[in-house]
């Protein structure tokens, strides 16, 4: 069984709503403030609605002053102040003007992480309100009024999160990407750890006292000897096991005192030879007593994961009306693209589930699970299989390019959960960056719907002999893309989907995003996307997320796109709506670049800005966003001459490319070649900023190297595998 009861909560991002939903009201009663800790992402505000959303205009912009990095952070608004994480720090704003009230920039970070938000603690009657800011491997408590660290918290306002968890691995990745969840006086955090190499820091969730910084509890995501299910990692697999981490954040139900945490995939991501068994609690939703960290139940969504199918988002709480009863439930959509709707009292699937046979691994010594769980409802939301017949036909050139890659590399996919193989190249669908991601879902309690954005982005990999009698992974995270960087599979590549949670049926599906490179044919393709949505009582679902640099509103009843705004950059974040003290409703979206989803054919540096939209007042001029347009990124000296000499590599190429001689080559071989194979590294050309972001992402997955080495790798790859010459004047964003 995947569900157990023992002994008897962006990333995602945090969204503050205007008027309280039932979950938010319970949060207020528990004294945790008007924060949507249930991740329902619903607002009862109606000032902006289907009838007038076309009138929305940008009314203020907050420029963080940072350029070139993907910005995934989303703000919160409490008591008339907006708080948010920004690239490299945290700040507070006047939410009706965007004026900065304070900014905090931590010093001495060796490896800045991706911050998706901050948390708010309202105080306890003696101590004042605090902002709980988790970044990299640190936890800060800041004075909500000034942004100054609270000296009595930890050591001078900071807790070193590596202590007692990552002491043996000082150079290994241990970082916090999602905001803490607040329950009473506890801040509950979970880390992101490496994805390659089985030994490393633990991914255990922990709770800290927000007043003192002292650890209150810790839950072992890998059961230790004597704990329940301690044999699920084999006889030795539990020892110093890296992860599994819970980087998607936590969801709190104050009414029951439970916190629900999504646990990611086991390490090593694609090789489970040294961890026979189901590997509990990897790939699970766990329900813990928020006061003590004791396990109440868990549900494992993927057994013995060898295809990197994280539970990447904080679950969303929703009440289901079925057979005359109200079922308190939660929704999780992992990277498989399967929506799991669980009774949050027991962890049992509301519509039932069944174990279905899946393709088996041919890697000697691998212990793939014979079956995986499939809920009876809803049907999978993303594409879980791909064949040669599914290759794109948008243009003859794209079809021929992708077909040639398929044939040359002996690509294959045998259906859901196809594992990496020693024969040919495995194509994963919907892909390790596809399906659902950390953006999670939004909900509408009146419709009974939840809304989720998914991507169909096939990725490739293979197992090859390691020269020592075994096998090693080659080409992890290689993308099956055409010559312009678009997926080789037939569209849609991105969708926004509404599911009726009361029945388990899909209410509607709409393409999310456009691919302008294909003209009229690209209007319904959708695009890869990363970020989340919010829903409102005005009948709207707001979402950015797409690589086409647009912000959209959909009719929540029908799925019709009713408003679109062009942005300076992709908004890989979750928006926010709130009502200011003036009574005006705003919708804000952090906008700051492609992040880890890439941006086909672009060679640009982006501004990280926060844009606020509202219905304009008489005489009010809309903000001109042209001043924040991306600019052509600088190229390393001589880069243009080196590009032609280096040649190009096809996506997911099975053979390893020959790296040109030059400074940094040995660094690339040692840092990039171990986990993924060099074919993955050079599968797609990138700008220097693009290479920097990819290298940072790979370091977050376990690639070893300090900042100096990472810089040499970036310079080398930019020089020899940079983008082809960019136009003198960059095209307007999204066109």
Cα(395)–Cα(35) distance, integer angstroms: 47
Contact criterion met (CB below 8 Å) for 425 and 413: no
Residue 656 and residue 565 share a domain: no
- For 135, 173, 277, the CA distances from 112, given in Å and listed in that order, are 7, 11, 35
Kind and range of the H or E run holding 389: none
> What is the C-alpha to C-alpha distance for residues 469 and 289, in angstroms, rounded to an integer?
47
Which letter does DSSP use for residue 438 in this model?
A: T
**Is residue 734 domain-resident?**
no
Q: Are residues 621 and 679 in the same domain?
A: no
Q: Rg (Cα) of the chain, in Å, rounded?
A: 24
Q: What is the pLDDT of residue 173?
A: 85
Q: Omega into 268 within 30° of 0, i.e. cis?
A: yes
For tokens 């420029």, the residue is 63
- Residue 99: give its domain's CATH number: 2.140.10.10
Residue 595: the pLDDT is 56
C-beta separation of 547 from 485 below 8 A: no
Question: Which residues face 450 on adjacent strands?
Answer: 443, 499
Same domain, 487 and 520: yes
Dist CA 464 CA 365 (whole Å): 14
Residue 115 to residue 369: CA distance in whole angstroms: 35
Residue 195: beta bridge partners? none
* Contact indicator for 157, 181 with CB cutoff of 8 Å: no
Domain final residue pick, 584, 599, 632: 632
What are the angstrom distances between the C-alpha of 298 and each of 1, 5, 166, 206, 725?
10, 7, 25, 17, 52
pLDDT of residue 678: 54
Q: Can you read off the two tokens belonging to residue 643?
A: 């590009």
Asked whether the beta carbons of 214 and 144 are under 8 A apart, the reply is no
| Residue 137 and residue 262 in one domain | yes
Neighbours of 357 (CB within 10 A): 11
Helix (H) or strand (E) holding 200: none
- The DSSP secondary-structure symbol of 349 reads B
Token pair listed for 522: 């690209």
Residues 15 and 70 in one domain: yes
Between the CA of residue 319 and those of 326, 328, 343, 432, what are the distances in Å?
Answer: 6, 5, 9, 30
Report angle CA 333, 334, 340 to the nearest 5 degrees.
45
Contacts of 93 (CB under 8 A, 6+ apart): 62, 75, 81, 82, 83, 84, 99, 100, 101, 610
What sign results for the dihedral spanned by CA atoms 384, 388, 389, 393?
positive
Query: What's 625's DSSP letter?
Result: G
Confirm whether 14 is domain-assigned: yes
**Is 123 part of a structural domain of the chain?**
yes
Q: How far apart are the C-alpha atoms of 301 and 277, rounded to whole Å?
A: 14
Rounded to 5 degrees, what are φ and ψ at 62? -110, 115
Of 632, 651, 684, the residue at which a domain comes to its end is 632
Give the model's pLDDT for residue 666.
Answer: 79
694 and 580 in a common domain: no
255, part of any domain: yes
What pLDDT does residue 682 have?
57
Where do we find the tokens 């709480």?
A: 317
> What gap in Å lies between CA 550 and CA 554, rounded to an integer?
13
Question: Going by C-beta distance under 8 Å and a sequence separation of 6 or more, which residues neighbour residue 514?
Answer: 522, 523, 524, 525, 526, 527, 548, 550
pLDDT on residue 685: 61
CATH assignment at residue 658: 1.10.760.10
Backbone angles phi, psi at 84, to 5 degrees: -155, 155
Question: Is there a contact between 312 and 262 (Cβ–Cβ < 8 Å)?
Answer: yes
Token couple for 98: 């965007």
- Separation CA 328–CA 343 (nearest Å): 6
Determine phi and psi for 636, rounding to 5 degrees: -60, 150
Q: At what angle do helices 688-700 and 707-721 cross, to 10 degrees?
A: 140
Cβ atoms within 10 A of the Cβ of 276, count?
Answer: 18
Domain with 712, as residue range(s), is 639-721
Residues 6+ apart with CB under 8 A from 159: 138, 139, 140, 153, 208, 213
Q: What pLDDT shows up at residue 414? A: 96
Q: Is 212 exposed, middle or buried (0-12, 13-18, 19+ CB in 10 A)?
A: middle
Same domain, 610 and 498: yes
Tokens 């005005």 appear where? 538
- pLDDT at residue 135, as a whole number: 92
Residues 234 and 194 both lie in one domain = yes
Rounded to a whole number, what is the distance in angstroms from the first to the last CA of the chain? 51
Instruction: Indicate whether 580 and 645 sit together in one domain.
Output: no
In the chain, the number of structural domains is 2
CA dist 117 → 65, 493, 734 (Å)? 18, 27, 26
Are 567 and 445 in the same domain? yes
Q: What is the mean pLDDT of each run of 10 residues along the chain (735 residues)?
A: 36 31 33 66 97 98 85 93 94 98 89 82 96 95 98 96 90 90 96 87 97 98 96 94 92 95 93 96 98 98 95 95 96 97 98 98 96 98 97 96 95 96 94 91 97 95 88 84 92 98 98 94 95 97 96 98 96 96 97 65 75 95 91 50 35 49 79 55 62 66 71 83 47 31
Residue 376 lies in a domain: yes
Domain boundary among 632, 661, 690: 632
Three-state DSSP at 518 gives helix
614 within some domain: yes
Q: Is residue 732 part of a domain?
A: no
Angle value at C-alpha 564, between 561 and 565, nearest 5 degrees: 165
Distance CA 418, CA 115 (A): 32
Asked whether residue 728 is assigned to any structural domain, the reply reads no
Q: For 29-33, which contacts have Cβ atoms below 8 Å and span 24 or more sequence positions?
A: 29/254, 30/183, 30/184, 30/254, 31/122, 31/184, 32/121, 32/122, 32/182, 32/183, 32/184, 32/252, 32/254, 33/78, 33/120, 33/121, 33/122, 33/182
Given the DSSP bridges, would you call strands 57-67 and 607-614 parallel, antiparallel or unpaired? antiparallel
Question: Would you state the pLDDT for residue 475?
Answer: 78
- Based on the fold, state whether residues 599 and 716 are members of the same structural domain: no
Asked if 685 and 650 touch (Cβ cutoff 8 Å), the reply is no
Query: CA 222, CA 243: separation in Å to the nearest integer?
Result: 8
Q: Let me know whether 694 and 549 are in one domain.
A: no
**116 in Cβ contact with 107 (< 8 Å):** no
Q: Which residues contact 107 (CB under 8 A, 6 or more apart)?
A: none
Tell me the C-alpha distance between 73 and 178, whole Å.
Answer: 9
- Cα separation, 436 vs 449, in Å, equals 17
């Amino acid at each position: 069984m995947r569900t157990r009861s023992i002994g008897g909560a962006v990333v995602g991002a945090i969204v503050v709503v205007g008027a309280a939903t039932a979950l938010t009201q319970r949060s207020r009663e528990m004294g945790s403030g008007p924060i949507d800790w249930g991740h329902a992402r619903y607002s009862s505000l109606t000032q902006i609605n289907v009838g007038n959303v076309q009138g929305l205009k940008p009314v203020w912009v907050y420029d963080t002053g940072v350029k070139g990095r993907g910005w995934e952070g989303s703000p919160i608004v409490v008591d008339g102040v907006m708080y948010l994480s920004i690239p490299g720090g945290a700040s507070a704003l006047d939410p009706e003007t965007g004026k900065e009230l304070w900014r905090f920039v931590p010093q001495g970070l060796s490896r800045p992480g991706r911050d998706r938000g901050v948390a708010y603690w309202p105080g306890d009657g003696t101590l004042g309100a605090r902002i709980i800011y988790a970044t990299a491997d640190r936890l800060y408590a800041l004075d909500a009024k000034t942004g100054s660290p609270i000296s009595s918290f930890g050591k001078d306002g900071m807790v070193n999160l590596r202590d007692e968890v990552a002491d043996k691995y000082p150079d290994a990745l241990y970082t916090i990407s999602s905001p803490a969840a607040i329950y009473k006086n506890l801040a509950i955090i979970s880390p992101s750890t490496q994805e390659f190499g089985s030994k490393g820091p633990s991914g255990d969730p922990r709770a800290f006292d927000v007043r003192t910084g002292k650890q209150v509890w810790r839950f072992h995501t890998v059961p230790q000897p004597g704990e329940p299910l301690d044999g699920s990692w084999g006889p030795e697999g539990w020892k110093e096991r890296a992860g599994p981490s819970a980087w998607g954040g936590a969801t709190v139900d104050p009414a029951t005192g439970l916190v629900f945490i999504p646990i990611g995939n086991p390490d090593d991501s694609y090789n489970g030879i040294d961890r026979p068994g189901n590997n509990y609690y990897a790939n699970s939703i766990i329900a813990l007593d928020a006061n003590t960290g004791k396990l109440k139940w868990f549900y494992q969504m993927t057994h013995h994961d060898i295809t990197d199918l994280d539970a990447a988002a904080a679950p969303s709480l929703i009440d289901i009306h079925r057979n005359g009863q109200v079922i308190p439930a939660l929704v999780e959509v992992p990277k498989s693209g399967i929506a799991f709707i669980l009774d949050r009292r027991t962890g049992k699937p509301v519509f039932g589930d069944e174990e279905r046979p899946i393709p088996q691994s041919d890697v000697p010594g691998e212990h793939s699970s014979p079956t995986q769980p499939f809920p009876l409802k809803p049907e999978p939301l993303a594409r879980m299989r791909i064949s040669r017949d599914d290759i794109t036909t948008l243009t003859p050139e794209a079809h021929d390019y992708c077909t040639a890659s398929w044939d040359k590399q002996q690509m294959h996919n045998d259906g859901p959960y196809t594992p990496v193989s020693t024969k040919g190249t495995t194509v994963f669908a919907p892909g390790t960056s596809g399906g659902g991601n950390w953006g999670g879902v939004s909900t509408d309690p009146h419709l009974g719907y939840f809304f989720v954005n998914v991507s169909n982005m096939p990725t490739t990999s293979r197992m090859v002999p390691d020269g020592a009698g075994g096998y090693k992974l080659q080409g992890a995270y290689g993308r099956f893309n055409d010559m312009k960087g678009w997926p080789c599979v037939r569209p849609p590549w991105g969708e926004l989907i509404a599911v009726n949670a009361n029945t388990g049926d899909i209410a509607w599906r709409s393409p999310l995003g456009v691919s302008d490179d294909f003209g009229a044919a690209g209007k319904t393709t959708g695009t890869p996307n990363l970020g989340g949505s919010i829903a409102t009582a005005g009948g709207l679902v707001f979402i950015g997320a797409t690589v086409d640099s647009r912000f959209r509103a959909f009719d929540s009843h029908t799925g019709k796109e009713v408003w679109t705004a062009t942005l300076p950059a992709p908004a890989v974040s979750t928006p926010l709506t709130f009502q200011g003290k003036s009574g005006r409703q705003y919708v804000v979206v952090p906008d700051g670049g492609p992040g880890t989803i890439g941006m086909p054919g672009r060679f640009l540096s982006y501004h990280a800005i926060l844009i606020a939209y509202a219905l304009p007042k008489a005489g009010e001029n809309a903000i001109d966003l042209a001043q924040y347009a991306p600019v052509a990124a600088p190229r390393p000296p001589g880069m243009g001459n080196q590009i032609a000499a280096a040649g190009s590599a096809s996506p997911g190429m099975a053979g390893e490319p020959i790296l040109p001689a030059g400074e940094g080559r040995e660094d690339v071989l040692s840092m990039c070649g171990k986990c993924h194979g060099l074919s993955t590294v050079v599968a797609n050309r990138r700008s220097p900023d693009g290479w920097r972001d990819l290298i940072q992402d790979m370091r977050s997955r376990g690639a070893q190297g300090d900042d100096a080495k990472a810089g040499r790798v970036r310079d080398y790859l930019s020089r020899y595998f940079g983008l082809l010459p960019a136009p003198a004047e960059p095209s307007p964003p999204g066109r």
